[in-house]
Amino acid sequence: MVTYDEKSGYDHVKLSQHSFTYFGIQFGGFYMTYTTLPFGWKASPFIYQSIGMCVTSYLRKLNVLNTLYIDDRFSVTRGGPLQSSEEKEFEGRRLVYVMLEVLTRLGYTLSLKKCSLVPEFCKKFLGFFVDSEKQAFILPEDKRKKFIELREFILSSKEVDLRTLQREVNAAISVCTKCSRPVRVFGPLKEEIEYWKFLDKWEGFSKWRPEFHNKIDMVTDSSGYRYGALVNLGDNHLTMGDYWLADDTRPIHEKEAEAILKALQSLGKSLLDSRVDVLTDSMAVIGAWNSQGSKCPALNCIMKDIFQLVAGQNVDLHLSFVPSELNKADGPSRILNTADTMLSNASWVLVDSRFGPHTVDLMSLDSNVMQSVSSFIYQDP
């Protein structure tokens, strides 16, 4: 594996002359315009990535395995298990030559300090180690230590500024740079930060997903009293579901999320190294999963449980929307519990007059016990 870093990539993409007016800066009373792709314009990464992908496609046609993220490029050899170490080394050096020759002829300038041009089985790319022997992505120790230091600094402070929290979540929130008020570290915010203490002792890694493309299709739904799921697991078609507790009064979006969690848990080891496509009629659940959080703390807790499950089983989970009227799991989510059923009044009067009077009802619950003609209620023993 080899990594490449393109230097000053935006400066190599020239703007058309009629676009100069739209890109510029004011400094010291002077107005200066950009003649190349400006840094900071939200479309710049997309434009540069699109140009770079043309090169990526060309290299793949040359049988060169490579990938690109803006200005960071990564390439690997096609070495097999039967190759000797000398053959693998020769193929790696040939790969470096081909990549450098093509990129420089296309006008790219490489930052040699950031490139790693010696072929190895483990390379750092986009902040993580890529290990071809373990077939895994590994968290670097220095990144773990920096995260722990920042986390403990926040937890030891009663108040922190928003910029510090922005570093913690690693998300660009524009309002943070404009707000100087401190934030109190307590309650749900403190619990959220403390949650990440598991990284202190975590020695695992994110394993690559095999190429056999194991795919599972699932449809889930929830009513106020029960959840249901339909699962296509290869040639097996499963129907599953269960009842919520009688005193479960949670909002429906929380039950919809937990329906997905329980359906995934029911599959056990069948989930391992799979892609799972889930259809649900809850946009709140889909939004929380895609955005990695929501404004509802309870929903966030369920999302964390789902994340822990799919991360442990190396699952690629995708949620998609299906209208309620087309949701096939609606039926399994509305099956009535036979323990809650009762005879109609007319049928009960007939039974009571024929076989009564009854002193004990051994089949009823307190919630559905029948009443005799004499208005005496037979209690559940």
2-138 and 214-334 agree in CATH topology: no
Half-sphere exposure in the Cβ direction for 371 (13 Å, CA): 5
CATH class of 2-138: alpha beta
Q: Is the pTM of this model over 0.75?
A: no
Task: Return the CATH number of 214-334, one of 3.30.420.10, 3.40.640.10, 1.25.40.10, 3.30.360.10.
Answer: 3.30.420.10
pLDDT value of residue 253: 94
pLDDT value of residue 341: 67
Q: Where are the domains of the chain?
A: 2-138, 141-200, 214-334, 339-381
Q: How many CB atoms lie within 10 A of CB 351?
A: 13
**Exposure of 43 by Cβ count < 10 A (0-12 exposed, 13-18 middle, 19+ buried)?**
exposed
pLDDT value of residue 25: 86
pLDDT value of residue 322: 92
pLDDT value of residue 230: 93
d(CA 240, CA 220): 9
Output the average pLDDT for the chain. Answer: 83
pLDDT value of residue 379: 46
pLDDT value of residue 164: 64
Q: Which residues of the chain have pLDDT under 50?
A: 171-178, 375-381
Contacts of 210 (CB under 8 A, 6+ apart): 273
pLDDT value of residue 306: 94
